[in-house]
Amino acid sequence: MDVSQKKEQFSRAYVRAVAAVTGLRVSEPEVDDDSIDMTLAGRGGGGPIRSPKLDLQLKCTATWVFRKKLLGFSLDRKNYDDLRDPNVMVPRLLVVVTVPKQLGEWLLHKEENLSLYHCAYWLSLRGMPEKLDQDSVTVHLPRDQWFNVPGVTAIMDRIAAGGLP
């Protein structure tokens, strides 16, 4: 498995760990032709939307740079266009998992704990402007939008209430 494939698998494991703790079901489309790698689904719900869902495009990077309170990430234009479309039933998010440069530092396992390094951030591109004549688009993920248990719980609560992430 090359490093790119390892990053893909690590980002899936990260999302699955968060989903397990939040009690969400995870599914994966057989074919990723719509920039959706995983779907999170709740059961029931406390709002007008029963069984809220959230589609995710996952990315993983070891070459991350923070500018002020933002993480810049270069996204293929196809993914950008798929994620910015406002005419989708299930809300979509870009999730970028950041990892150390050295593969051996991605995970630390002790008898007391299992730690995944570093962090994941999310961004909704819904309604973003069209970018003509570009093969890729740099997006900026706010550093306070962590893809973690409290963050995902709040997102799913907003969707269940009829809102957006």
Q: What is the pLDDT of residues 65-76, one digit of tens each?
A: 888 899 999 999
Q: Tokens 């990260």 correspond to what residue?
A: 14
Residue 31 lies in a domain: yes
> What is the reported pLDDT for 44?
78
Q: What percent of the chain has pLDDT over 90?
A: 87
Strand partners, 115: 108
Q: Which domain holds residue 103?
A: 3-160
pLDDT band at 82 (very low <50, low <70, confident <90, very high): very high
Residue 127 lies in a domain: yes
Q: At residue 64, does pLDDT exceed 90? A: no
Distance spanning both ends of the chain, measured CA to CA: 34
Q: What is the pLDDT of residues 132-144, one digit of tens each?
A: 889 999 999 999 9
Residue 68 lies in a domain: yes
Residue 165 lies in a domain: no
Asked whether the CA dihedral 116, 121, 122, 125 is positive or negative, the reply is negative
Q: Is the Cβ–Cβ distance between 73 and 59 less than 8 Å?
A: yes
Residue 81 lies in a domain: yes
In sequence order, which residues have a C-beta less than 8 Å from that of residue 123 and are 6 or more positions away? 93, 94, 96, 139, 140, 141, 142, 145
> 139: domain CATH number?
3.40.1350.10
Residue 44 lies in a domain: yes
Structural tokens at position 149: 């248990």
Q: At residue 46, does pLDDT exceed 80? A: no
Residue 107 lies in a domain: yes
> What is the reported pLDDT for 65?
84
Q: DSSP letter string over 97-151?
A: EE--SSGGGSEEE-SS-EEE-SEEEEE--TTPPP-TT-SEEEEEEETT-B-SHHH
Residue 88 lies in a domain: yes
Structural tokens at position 87: 């005419």
Give how many domains the chain has, as a whole number: 1
Nearest to 68 by CA among 136, 148, 6, 141: 141
> What is the reported pLDDT for 72?
96
